[in-house]
Structure 1
Amino acid sequence: MTTSDIQEPPKITEEHFLDTGTGIEAETEDDGASPEIARPWNPEQIRVNTKQFSLRNALDMIEDDSLELAPDFQRGRVWKLVQKSRLIESVLLQIPLPAFYFAEDTDGYMRVVDGLQRLSTIHDFVRGGDEQGFALKGLEYLQNTVEGKRFEDLPAPWKRRIFNTQIVTHVIDPTTPPDVMYDIFKRINTGGTPLNAQEIRHCMSKDRSRTILRSMTSTAEFDAATNGMGGHIRMNDREMALRFAAFWLMGTDGYAKYAAMDPLLQRTTGMLDDANEVDDARVNALMSAFRKAMVNARLVFGDHAFRKWPLTSSWRNPINRALFETWSITLAKYDAEDLDGRKSEIVARARTLMTRDYRYLEAITSSTGDVRRVLYRFETTAKAAEAGK
């Protein structure tokens, strides 16, 4: 092999959150790529009603489960103590809060979509008790009045001021189609630290799909294959499991139908939420295939599973989503005994692809949702998995 045989690999960039690497490679878009969403909605399908609640009403709805704060949603609770305290100070100063967005389902239950951090903070302060409650710290205007106090330490007039605070809430009607609703969420998701795509899907989804994805990413097999990615603070672990479920349930033909990752994953979430579409037996089969894929990925690639690993480098790069979906789906079809005897040949073939095949590198690096690139990386990965036969 000569130097001329080797392509200059694209620069690998890791996603960051709160100035810390997430362990996931950032996906990029080609400048000339067509937008993933190119479908104008009928304005009559968008139904958003504006309502007004007192904070007492909102907190009571949270307590009786008619308003959901997206359980196990870690991203929504990462504010530092001073940030939380100054939000409470704003309420005490009667400074109007920005509008909230809720999504209502057909049973009348609502989920917080935009404003989750603010409402979680207020709920923790007022109803959190010793476990999640906190004392105010770092106030700007009321440091001589309520600094260091918990909610139960506040004088009654201050408590009433919090309870009586009115919030403006835009409630998205359940008759709004899911894809339209998802696009609305993406458009309004601008305040604070914006939610990523999987966090939005989590807010929109029901408990069944959440439980399935959490179960998939809580397995020892997943943690071993991804070097401890389970419980990811930006829910990238859930997105990877969802991508596996999407291609396992619908295949590349299903992807070609939607021609974009967002609608495919949104559709898959809906399928997992509906036991009539994916029953418990099918879920068990999905879980079994996922565990098998994780065991096989660890067996073949070791610490480099689902990461770019060109012949020119032994560095362990961040996990690449496109590699995850293609190799996990591919390896789920093989027995460990078969792969164990061929793993060196498979690794060599895979590393060669990531070194010499620029079309393959493009397919796992930029505009990864492009149908042609999705099909190419699946086809090429399937051939690489046959190495040594």
Structure 2
Amino acid sequence: MSMEDAQKVPDVVEDVYEGRATGVEVEDPGQEENLIQRPWNPEQIRVSTRSFSLRNILDLIDEKSLELAPDFQRGLVWRPDQKSLLVESLLLQIPLPAFYFAEDSDSAFRVVDGLQRLSTLHAFVRGASHGFTLTGLDHLHDLQGARFADLPVPFQRRINNTQLIVNVIDPSTPREVTYEIFKRINTGGTPLNAQEIRHCMSRPRSRDILKRMTHTEAFDTATGGRLKGHIRMNDREMALRFSAFWLRGLDAYHAHPVMETFLMETTELLDDPKEVPDDRVAELEAAFEQAMVNARLVFGEHAFRKWPRGAEWRSPINRALFETWSIALAGHGADDLSRRRTDIVRSARDRMTEDIAYLESITSSTADRRRVDYRFTAAAEDAEAGR
């Protein structure tokens, strides 16, 4: 790469979580419009405060009336001593911070804030193999190594009868307002990212679809295995972005060019079999798998990564490149792409080296409508190179 070319290519910064590289480039979506109208209409925000016994909440979990967002890996990684200290707090009758639930129209609940705490308590009281053992306690040293069944009956009763304060978001609260509340009040050590929030708010159907899309050999191969079971759910976000543009197109994004809203609405569509029937889901999954196969065929280990001329290192995966190139390649046949591969790669790498507007569109203010348009148009043009 020449000195002039090197000056044109923006720095690539890989996202890091808990000291580990995630394999995904940091994205700067820019300043999006507000998801909801401001100032808020107070009548839109309906939150009531209720008191539940822990026994009641554990019953709701077992009855599937309170959803703990399965597959949410990062929320369930407390150390044994952290789990034990939470249980000790109940035994010492120390009040826990309030929880937040969102109530659905069918009177079921999902956890907005408190997923780690509830998952821990459910595992201790009703978990498989009689739950985990207590360790690293600060005060109740006689209970070291005890499981719930080993506790004296008064202590078991104390845990089950513990009253938890829960703020419940009424189902009449608009979805985008609930999303905003979710963003504001989650109190974990590391705030939830947008996809983690969408996952916690979604229903099993969309979660199952995105999981199937990202648990294939084609996806693992195209992404170099870096997104498999991603701890920040970047794998599901990539599949959701493809789904959003494949199902709805650019016109739908133009109608309300806010990426978070666009992806949240797509999640709701995937959750509704009337909006996206099973046969349409099958077409979506087949198109996604074909896109993954084609991306690997054309770009090899550099698929969905910045790859300017002269650069042979493998950059982290870029979200904007993923959404545009997966869509651009989904409808092509393997024989056609194999014949034109050299031309496509040359065209794409030239653009990543010389086209400053394109580099900006995949690097900064990536949610801007004009930049979204530009990169989709560019990928579509490059995918036709060599014809």
Secondary structure, in 3 states, of the residue corresponding to 1:383? helix
Q: Distance in 1 between matches of 2:346 and 2:137?
A: 59
Q: In the alignment, which residue of structure 1 is the partner of 2:9?
A: 9
Where structure 1 has 5 or more consecutive residues not aligned to the other structure, the ranges are none
Structure 1 residue corresponding to 2:157, chosen from 151, 155, 160: 160
Structure 2 residue corresponding to 1:147, chosen from 137, 144, 147: 144
Q: In the alignment, which residue of structure 1 is the partner of 2:24?
A: 24
Q: In the alignment, which residue of structure 1 is the partner of 2:200?
A: 203
Deviates more, 1:317-326 or 1:230-239: 230-239
Deviates more, 1:186-195 or 1:230-239: 186-195
- TM-score between the two structures when normalised by the length of structure 1: 0.95
Deviation at 1:162, TM superposition (A): 1.1
Structure 1 residue corresponding to 2:250, chosen from 243, 252, 267: 252
- TM-score between the two structures when normalised by the length of structure 2: 0.95
Are 2:246 and 1:218 aligned? no
Where structure 2 has 5 or more consecutive residues not aligned to the other structure, the ranges are none
Q: In the alignment, which residue of structure 2 is the partner of 1:45?
A: 44
Deviation at 1:134, TM superposition (A): 1.4
One-letter code of the match for 1:314? E
Q: Distance in 1 between matches of 2:11 and 2:90?
A: 46
Alignment of 1:239-388 (within 5 A): 239-388=237-386
Deviation at 1:35, TM superposition (A): 4.6
Secondary structure, in 3 states, of the residue corresponding to 1:70? coil
Deviation at 1:38, TM superposition (A): 6.4
Q: Is the 8 A contact 1:6 1:356 kept in 2?
A: no
Q: Is the 8 A contact 1:104 1:110 kept in 2?
A: yes
One-letter code of the match for 1:159? Q
- Could you report, residue by residue, the CA deviation over 1:61-82 in whole angstroms, capped at 9, with x for unpaired residues? 1111111111222121111112
Secondary structure, in 3 states, of the residue corresponding to 1:145? helix
Q: In the alignment, which residue of structure 1 is the partner of 2:187?
A: 190
One-letter code of the match for 2:334? A
Q: Is the 8 A contact 1:7 1:356 kept in 2?
A: no
Task: Give the aligned CA root-mean-square deviation in angstroms.
Answer: 1.6
Aligned-pair identity in percent equals 62
Structure 1's 34 and 243: CA in aligned 2 closer, same or farther, altered over 3 A?
A: closer
Are 2:180 and 1:179 aligned? no
Alignment of 1:87-126 (within 5 A): 87-126=86-125
- Could you report, residue by residue, the CA deviation over 1:279-336 in whole angstroms, capped at 9, with x for unpaired residues? 1111111111111100100101111111111223211121111110000000002111
Structure 1's 252 and 311: CA in aligned 2 closer, same or farther, altered over 3 A?
A: same
Q: Is the 8 A contact 1:86 1:138 kept in 2?
A: yes
Deviation at 1:34, TM superposition (A): 5.4
Q: Distance in 2 between matches of 1:205 and 1:371?
A: 26
Q: Is the 8 A contact 1:59 1:123 kept in 2?
A: yes
Deviates more, 1:84-93 or 1:107-116: 84-93
Q: Distance in 2 between matches of 1:129 and 1:82?
A: 19
Deviates more, 1:172-181 or 1:20-29: 20-29
Q: Is the 8 A contact 2:318 2:362 kept in 1?
A: yes
Deviation at 1:123, TM superposition (A): 0.6
Q: Is the 8 A contact 1:7 1:358 kept in 2?
A: no
